[in-house]
């Protein structure tokens, strides 16, 4: 318990330090930035480039569009957008998780499948997301399942899962092949079949490898969802909000920073949800966990 | 019917660099309840022989029968329990859950499992540790858990591959006495691989001495397994008898002769 309090305290201190560093940079460094010859080595620190932290926080309470009939605050818009994106990212994480686990099982079961599939699994991550996003949206637009027509958010979820499946597939494969030969032989001597060995040996043994993989996948799912929202032009999420606010950033960057702050908090919340899910798996995490 | 029956067993490994013979022409019968040790120089194939009996490897020539059945069938019927040099316990399971594993895999009902596990932990003297994790136990205790697991389904045969090899001398001698008691109480035959001559002598009814690779049985020496006593002191007494030293000498000479051939 003490350890957990310390972890939380460390996180808070780190956040305070980050804020202090930001403000210190504004205070100490010249507003025009630092240039060596023609090369700019430090950015401008005036209010148009780096707004004060409190300006960004205050912006959350301002109306989104000055003088509009609907007085929605920037904060409400950011929270709403972040929740929308969180839903899509978690959906992507689940989809990607299922795909990753199935691929890992296939590769563990059949050595040939590992040779055939693993290179493509790795290659899949070198394809730029921006290139796939319109493709997925385009294919999706042609799909209608039992009266349900493809929605733009579904494209976002699929693209998000495309990033999320990778760490899970790789981590799960490592985990499934983690048991020592002696353990596998023990199960063979007990006349246990593949399924029993999977359930009682490989899956429990895979947990220490799977847990960090799911954390990576959660972060990747959030990034994937935000980028997918932007590149497919899907409305309602934080990705779209960042773009919209960025377009008005020349005059007042604090609104864009507010949206970026929302995206960062979103990533933390996603990681937090995954950590909560891990609590039930503690006994599998190590000899004395 | 013998507990184990090996006839003309040979094993060659790997077509990769051409077949390498590991065992050749092994004949061995182990009677019900008998304790037989395999001893020989490193790499002589004694572990391979045990693995053939366990159906973890298939012989190139000859037949392996366990409890009158082909080895594969005996494995599927769980006619043996096995313990290796490494205890090989599942770290996420408690001691009780590790011992329970073979019963769980074969669908034994929960209440029955619990009763049997309590009985087994009593047998190996770990009743108070049922809730511990393997990592909290000493090496000797882990090995006792592994033996309890091997005995879970009351197999008529226990296969042991240097189970005490990684233990210190004191623990090792205590475990030997434990094993003798367990073997007697369970009535199981034991096939025991070791490279310790005194260990083989004090435990076994018979000791099969193997030659260097390709291994074959060059001689069978009578062991000095105590006929009645099974507690540590009585086993200790055996270690100090002339008959014990004579048997140790006989095994040593058989090993030397096998190596010279």
Give pLDDT tens digits for B49-96: 999 999 999 999 999 999 999 999 999 999 999 998 888 899 999 999
Please tell me the predicted confidence (pLDDT) of residue A3: 72
Which residues, in sequence order, are bridge partners of residue A149?
A: A144
Chain B interface residues (partner A, CB cutoff 8 A): 54-56, 75-78, 80, 82, 84, 86, 88, 90-92, 101-102, 104-106, 133-136
End-to-end CA distance of chain B: 34
pLDDT per residue over A255-269, tens digit each? 888 898 999 999 889
The structure tokens listed for B41 are 């120089």
In sequence order, what DSSP letters do the residues of A160-208 get, joined into one string? HHHHHHHHHHHHHHHHHT-S-HHHHHHHHHTT--HHHHIIIIIHHHHHH
> Scanning the structure block, which residue is given the tokens 């060059």?
B218
Q: Report the mean per-residue pLDDT for chain A.
A: 87
Tell me, yes or no, if A46 comes closer than 8 A to chain B by beta carbon: no
Name the nearest CA neighbour of A237 among A248, A246, A225: A225
Q: Is the pLDDT of residue A233 over 90?
A: no
Please tell me the predicted confidence (pLDDT) of residue A105: 95
Taking contacts as CB-CB distances below 8 angstroms, the residues of chain B near A185 are 56, 84
The 10 Å CB-count burial string (b at 16+, else e) for A181-198 is: eebebbbbbbbbeeeebb
pLDDT per residue over B193-243, tens digit each? 998 999 999 999 999 999 988 888 999 998 888 776 566 677 778 888 888
**A192 in Cβ contact with A200 (< 8 Å):** yes
Q: For residue B135, what are the CA distances in angstroms to A271, B94, B131, B170, B172?
A: 30, 10, 12, 21, 19
Measured between alpha carbons, how far is A40 from B93 in angstroms, rounded to an integer? Answer: 59
Q: Is A127 in the same domain as A188?
A: yes
Taking residues A129-148, report their average pLDDT. Answer: 81
Final residue before a domain boundary, out of A17, A33, A50: A50
Q: Is A69 in the same domain as A179?
A: yes
The DSSP code for B211 is P
pTM for the whole structure: 0.83
Minimal Cα distance from B155: which residue of A?
A190
pLDDT per residue over A66-114, tens digit each? 666 677 888 898 999 999 999 999 999 999 999 999 999 999 999 898 8
- Count Cβ atoms below 10 Å from residue A10 Cβ, excluding itself: 10
Q: Is A137 in the same domain as A1?
A: no
Judged by CB atoms closer than 8 Å, whether chains meet at A189 and B90 is answered as no
Judged by CB atoms closer than 8 Å, whether chains meet at A190 and B105 is answered as yes
- The domain containing residue A16 runs over which residues? 1-50
Measured between alpha carbons, how far is A181 from B146 in angstroms, rounded to an integer? Answer: 16
Considering its fold, how many domains does chain A have in total? 2
Judged by CB atoms closer than 8 Å, whether chains meet at B84 and A183 is answered as no
In a domain, A289, yes or no: no
Q: Is A164 in the same domain as A268?
A: yes
Does the ipTM exceed 0.85? yes
Measured between alpha carbons, how far is B204 from B108 in angstroms, rounded to an integer? Answer: 33
Q: Is A15 in the same domain as A92?
A: no
pLDDT per residue over A237-250, tens digit each? 999 888 888 887 66
pLDDT per residue over A171-228, tens digit each? 999 999 999 998 999 999 999 999 999 999 999 999 999 999 999 999 999 999 999 9
Q: Is A41 in the same domain as A116?
A: no
Q: Is A21 in the same domain as A117?
A: no
Name the nearest CA neighbour of B47 among B190, B220, B215: B215
Measured between alpha carbons, how far is B177 from B197 in angstroms, rounded to an integer? Answer: 16
Which residues, in sequence order, are bridge partners of residue B37?
A: B192, B207
Measured between alpha carbons, how far is B138 from A120 in angstroms, rounded to an integer? Answer: 46
Please tell me the predicted confidence (pLDDT) of residue B230: 60
Q: Is A16 in the same domain as A85?
A: no
Q: Report the mean per-residue pLDDT for chain B.
A: 89
- CATH number of the domain encompassing residue A124: 1.10.3720.10
Which residues, in sequence order, are bridge partners of residue B208?
A: B38, B220
Tell me, yes or no, if A280 comes closer than 8 A to chain B by beta carbon: no
Strand duo A34-36 + A39-42: pairing: antiparallel
Final residue before a domain boundary, out of A50, A67, A82: A50
The DSSP code for A99 is H
Tell me which residue in A191, A196, A286 faces B78 most closely, judged by beta carbons. A191
Taking residues B121-140, report their average pLDDT. Answer: 90
Strand duo B4-13 + B20-30: pairing: antiparallel
Which residue would you say has higher pLDDT here, A149 or B2?
B2
| Optimal mutation site among A190, A211, A285, interface B, most CBs of chain B within 10 A | A190
Which residues, in sequence order, are bridge partners of residue B221?
A: B207
Taking contacts as CB-CB distances below 8 angstroms, the residues of chain B near A183 are 88, 90
Minimal Cα distance from A193: which residue of B?
B105
Tell me the residue length of chain A. 289
> Scanning the structure block, which residue is given the tokens 């493809």?
A150
pLDDT per residue over A164-176, tens digit each? 999 999 999 999 9
Tell me which residue in A186, A189, A283 faces B75 most closely, judged by beta carbons. A189
Domain ranges of chain B: 4-79+156-260, 87-154
Q: Is A139 in the same domain as A265?
A: yes
Minimal Cα distance from A289: which residue of B?
B92
Judged by CB atoms closer than 8 Å, whether chains meet at B82 and A204 is answered as no
Distance of CA A127 to the CA centre of its chain: 18
Which residues, in sequence order, are bridge partners of residue B122?
A: none
Taking residues B177-198, report their average pLDDT. Answer: 89
Final residue before a domain boundary, out of A34, A50, A66: A50
Q: How confident is the model at residue A289 (pLDDT cuts 50, 70, 90)?
A: very low
Q: How confident is the model at residue A288 (pLDDT cuts 50, 70, 90)?
A: very low
Taking contacts as CB-CB distances below 8 angstroms, the residues of chain A near B106 are 190-191
Q: Is the pLDDT of residue B136 over 90?
A: yes
CATH number (3.30.300.30, 3.40.50.300, 2.30.30.240, 3.40.50.12280) of B4-79+156-260 reads: 3.40.50.300
The structure tokens listed for A186 are 């023990």
Name the nearest CA neighbour of B4 among B30, B25, B26: B30
Q: Is the pLDDT of residue A146 over 80?
A: no
């Amino acid at each position: 318990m003490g350890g957990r309090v310390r972890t939380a305290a460390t996180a808070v201190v780190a956040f305070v330090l980050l804020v202090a560093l930001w403000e210190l940079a504004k205070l100490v460094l010249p507003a025009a930035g630092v240039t060596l010859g023609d090369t700019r080595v430090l950015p401008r620190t005036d209010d148009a480039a780096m707004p004060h932290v409190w300006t960004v926080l205050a912006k959350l309470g301002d109306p989104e569009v000055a003088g509009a009939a609907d007085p929605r605050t920037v904060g409400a818009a950011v929270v709403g957008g972040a929740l929308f994106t969180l839903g899509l990212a978690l959906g992507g994480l689940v989809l990607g998780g299922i795909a990753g686990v199935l691929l890992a099982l296939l590769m563990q079961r059949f050595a040939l499948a590992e040779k055939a599939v693993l290179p493509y699994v790795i290659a899949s991550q070198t394809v730029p997301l921006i290139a796939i996003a319109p493709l997925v949206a385009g294919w999706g637009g042609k799909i209608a399942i039992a009266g349900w027509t493809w929605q733009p958010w579904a494209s976002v979820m699929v693209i998000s899962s495309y990033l999320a499946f990778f760490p899970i597939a790789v981590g799960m494969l490592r985990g499934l092949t983690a048991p020592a030969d002696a353990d596998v032989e023990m199960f063979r001597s007990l006349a246990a079949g593949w399924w029993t060995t999977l359930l009682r040996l490989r899956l429990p043994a895979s947990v220490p490898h799977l847990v960090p993989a799911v954390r990576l996948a959660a972060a990747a799912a959030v990034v994937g969802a935000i980028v997918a929202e932007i590149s497919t032009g899907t409305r309602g999420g934080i990705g779209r909000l960042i773009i919209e606010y960025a377009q008005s950033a020349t005059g007042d960057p604090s609104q864009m920073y507010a949206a970026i702050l929302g995206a960062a908090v979103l990533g933390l919340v996603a990681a937090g949800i995954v950590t909560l899910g891990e609590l039930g798996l503690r006994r599998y995490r190590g000899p004395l966990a | 019917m013998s507990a184990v029956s090996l006839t003309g067993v040979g094993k060659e490994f790997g077509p990769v660099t051409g077949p390498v013979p590991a065992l050749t022409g092994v004949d061995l019968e182990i009677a019900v309840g008998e304790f037989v040790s395999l001893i020989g120089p490193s790499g002589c194939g004694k572990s391979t022989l045990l693995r053939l009996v366990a159906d973890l490897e298939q012989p190139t020539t000859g037949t392996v029968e366990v409890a009158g059945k082909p080895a594969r069938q005996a494995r599927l019927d769980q006619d043996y329990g096995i313990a290796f040099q490494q205890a090989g316990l599942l770290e996420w399971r408690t001691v009780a859950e590790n011992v329970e594993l073979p019963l769980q895999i074969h669908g034994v009902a929960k209440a029955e499992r619990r009763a049997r596990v309590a009985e087994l932990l009593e047998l190996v003297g770990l009743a108070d540790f049922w809730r511990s994790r393997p990592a909290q136990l000493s090496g000797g205790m882990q090995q006792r858990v592994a033996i309890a697991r091997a005995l879970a389904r009351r197999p008529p045969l226990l296969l042991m591959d240097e189970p005490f090899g990684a233990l210190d001398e004191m623990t090792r001698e205590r475990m030997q006495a434990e094993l003798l008691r367990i073997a007697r109480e369970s009535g199981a035959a034991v096939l025991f691989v070791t490279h310790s001559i005194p260990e083989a002598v004090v435990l076994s009814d018979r000791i099969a001495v193997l030659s260097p690779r390709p291994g074959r049985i060059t001689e069978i020496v009578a062991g000095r397994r105590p006929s009645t006593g099974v507690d540590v002191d009585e086993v200790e007494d055996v270690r100090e008898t002339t008959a014990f030293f004579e048997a140790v000498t006989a095994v040593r000479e058989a090993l030397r002769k096998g190596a010279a051939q």
